[in-house]
């Protein structure tokens, strides 16, 4: 593992550890808060409940992106922590569509995060570019077993040798064939108690959701305006709002890509604290 990848893995591990400290809430309590947020909006929750629910959901997303990407960058300008930070900005809308009668909160957030990653990165399938490595791993193992046994290995043997489950083997094969798609009857999330189809709700925003989004956008602008250092603030806006790469911003500020990433994470943490106040 390269030094850069090691830093990325350490970064997501530290982020998860931080979220575990702030997400001091049981699964049942989080589901109760989420149900309330789905009825009245995330902003309607008292500050402490809202912060715990946000941390709980981001923790699910962080663990999901660690499992999905294997701790590596999905795009050259998007690292695991970046995906979680981007997901935060649509969390209010995601929770509006949560229905506890259709899926558990971890399953729903996992499925929503998978969908978010796919929609945010059109050049990647739902699992991201880490499938390139998985496809190569599958091909090498298949060729190795073919040479040993003089016949095509069975799925059972491949799963045993690779330490994979049936779902992962199927998904990697889909990626290998270029037909990686999402099916409505695919299991959603990690516990498999719902399908992707169960979690789909109309994308058309309602009146309440439109108003909530405008309020959230207004608060975000107020928070950004209150941050010190106009030069860094402008850089943060370009990274967070306009999606410019850390590398490009780093060149202009005379900072490393990792330094800009840390600056963005600090800014987002400040924003979350201020917006939940």
Tell me the backbone φ, ψ of residue 187, rounded to 5 degrees: -60, 140
Chain segment 76-112, per-residue pLDDT in tens: 345 677 778 778 888 888 999 898 888 899 999 988 8
- pLDDT reported for residue 184: 42
What pLDDT tens digit does each residue of the chain (277 aa) get?
A: 333 444 566 777 888 888 888 888 899 999 999 999 999 888 888 888 898 999 999 999 988 877 765 544 444 345 677 778 778 888 888 999 898 888 899 999 988 888 787 766 544 444 444 556 677 788 888 888 888 888 888 888 988 888 877 767 776 776 666 544 444 444 544 445 554 444 444 444 454 555 555 666 666 666 666 666 655 666 666 666 556 677 777 777 777 777 777 777 777 777 666 655 5
Identify whether the C-beta of residue 43 lies closer than 8 Å to the C-beta of residue 212: yes
Domain ranges of the chain: 1-124, 130-177, 204-277
Q: What residues pair up with 187 in beta bridges, in sequence order? A: 195
Burial 13-51 (b: 16+ CB within 10 A, else e): eebbebbeebbebeeeebbbbbbbbbeebbeebeeebbb
- pLDDT reported for residue 139: 84
The radius of gyration of the chain's CA atoms, rounded to the nearest angstrom, is 20
Q: Which CATH class is domain 204-277?
A: mainly alpha
Tell me the backbone φ, ψ of residue 102, rounded to 5 degrees: -105, -30
C-alpha 242/C-alpha 81 separation (Å) is 17
Chain segment 192-228, per-residue pLDDT in tens: 555 444 444 444 445 455 555 566 666 666 666 666 6
Q: What residues pair up with 78 in beta bridges, in sequence order? A: 75
Q: What pTM did the predictor assign?
A: 0.46
Structural tokens at position 54: 């946000």
Identify whether the C-beta of residue 51 lies closer than 8 Å to the C-beta of residue 276: yes
């Amino acid at each position: 593992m390269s030094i850069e990848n090691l830093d990325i893995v350490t970064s997501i591990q530290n982020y998860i550890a931080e979220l575990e400290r702030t997400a001091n809430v049981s699964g049942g309590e989080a589901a109760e808060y989420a149900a309330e947020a789905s009825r009245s909006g995330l902003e309607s929750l008292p500050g402490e409940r809202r912060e715990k629910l946000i941390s709980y959901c981001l923790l699910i997303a962080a663990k999901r992106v660690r499992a999905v990407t294997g701790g590596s960058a999905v795009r050259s300008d998007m690292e695991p922590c970046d995906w979680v930070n981007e997901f935060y900005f649509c969390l209010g809308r995601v929770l509006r569509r949560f229905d506890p009668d259709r899926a558990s909160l971890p399953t729903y957030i996992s499925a929503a995060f998978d969908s978010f990653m796919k929609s945010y990165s059109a050049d990647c399938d739902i699992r991201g570019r880490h499938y390139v490595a998985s496809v190569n791993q599958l091909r090498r193992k298949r060729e190795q077993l073919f040479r040993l046994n003089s016949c095509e290995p069975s799925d059972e043997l491949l799963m045993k040798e690779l330490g994979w489950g049936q779902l992962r083997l199927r998904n990697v094969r889909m990626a290998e064939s270029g037909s990686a798609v999402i099916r409505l009857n695919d299991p959603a999330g990690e516990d498999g108690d719902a399908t992707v189809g169960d979690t789909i709700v109309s994308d058309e925003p309602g009146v309440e959701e439109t108003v909530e989004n405008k309020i959230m956008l207004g608060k975000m602008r107020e928070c950004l305006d209150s941050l010190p250092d106009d030069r860094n603030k402008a850089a943060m806006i370009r990274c967070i709002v306009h999606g410019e790469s850390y590398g490009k911003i780093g060149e202009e500020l005379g900072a490393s890509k990792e330094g800009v990433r840390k600056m963005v994470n600090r800014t987002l943490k400040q924003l979350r604290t201020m917006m939940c106040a």
